[in-house]
Amino acid sequence: MSYFAFLTEHGPTMLLGTVTTIKVLICATILYVIISLIFGLMRLSKNPIIQGTATVYIEFFRGTSLLVQLFWFYYVLPFFGLTLEAFTAGVVAIGMNFGAYGAEIVRGGVLAVPKGQWEGAFALNFTPAKRMRKIIIPQIFPIILPPAANLTVELLKATALVALVTVVDLTFEAKQINSITWLSAQCFGTALLIYYIISRFFLVPFLRWLEVLAARKVGKEIK
C-alpha cells in the first residue's frame, strides 16, 4: 500500500486524534499556567505553612514520574470514590505535573526582577499585594516566558501519554491503526510528523510571538 493510499484511508482518523491531542494540550496548558503562578508565589511566601505546602507539592510532583501520576489519577483515585473520566484524569495529571515545574520557573522569575523595583515599590508605600500585582508580576513575564516555552513544548510531547489511559488522541489512533494494518512505519511516522508540525510550525512560533509581546510590554526589544 502506497503512503498516499494510507493517508487517504487513515488520515481522517489521525486528524480526529490530533484534535483531541490539541484539546488536551490547551486544557493542560491553561491548568499548568494557573498552578505555576499560584504555587510559584506560594513558594516565595514568608508564611512557613504556605511555603511548606508549595514545596511539598512541587517536590512530590517533580519527584515522581508523570506516567505514574497519570495511572494513579486514573486507576487509583476510583478506589477513593473519585472516578475521573480519562480525558479529565489526563489533563489534571499533566497540568499538575507541569505546574510543579512551572512553579519553579515563576519563582525564579520573581526573584530575577531587579531589586530596585522592589525598593521603589516599597518607597512609594505600596501594600505588598499591590506591589506584587502592579509592579512585580507584570515584569516577570519576559523573564519566565522563554523557559516556559520550552516547558510547553515538553507538555505537548507529554500529551502522548494520555493515550495509555485510553484517551483517544493521536498516539492512541496511531497505535490502533498499527494494530489493524501493521503498517508501523507509516502510522507511527505520520504521528511523529504531526507532532513535529504542531510543535515547529504552530506552538513554537506562537510562544515566540508571546515572548516578543511580553518583552515589548516592559519596553524591551528582542530580535
Partner 1 sequence: MNAEWRWDFAIEILPQMLLATLNTILAAGIGYAIAAIVGLLFLLGQRTPIKIVNIINREIVEFIRSTPLLIQLFFVYFVLPQFGITLSAWVCGMITIGLHFGTYLSEVYRGALEGVPKTQWEACRALNFSTFYTYRKIVLPQAFPIAIPGMGNYLVGIFKDTPLLSTIGVAELFHAATAVGGYHYRYLEPYTIVGLIFLMLSIPAAIWIRKIEKNVNLAQGKIKKEQL
The distance from CA 45 to its chain's CA centroid, rounded to whole angstroms, is 24
CA dihedral for 76, 79, 85, 88, sign (positive or negative)? negative
For residue 70, count CB atoms less than 10 angstroms from its CB and return exposed for 0-12, middle for 13-18, buried for 19 or more.
buried
Residues contacting residue 22 through CB under 8 Å, at least 6 positions apart: 198
What is the pattern of x (binds partner 1, CB under 8 A) and - over residues 13-52?
A: ----------------------------------------
Closest to partner 1 by CB, 201 vs 209, is 201
Q: Is 79 in the site for partner 1 (CB under 8 A)?
A: yes
Q: How far is the CB of 134 from partner 1 (least distance, A)?
A: 29
Q: Is 1 in the site for partner 1 (CB under 8 A)?
A: no
Residue of 15, 29, 158, 162 whose CA lies nearest to 88: 162
Q: How far is the CB of 153 from partner 1 (least distance, A)?
A: 6
Q: Where on the chain is the footprint of partner 1 (CB under 8 A)? A: 59-60, 62-69, 71-72, 75-76, 78-81, 153, 156-161, 163-164, 171, 174-175, 178, 184-185, 188-189, 191-192, 195-196, 199-200, 204
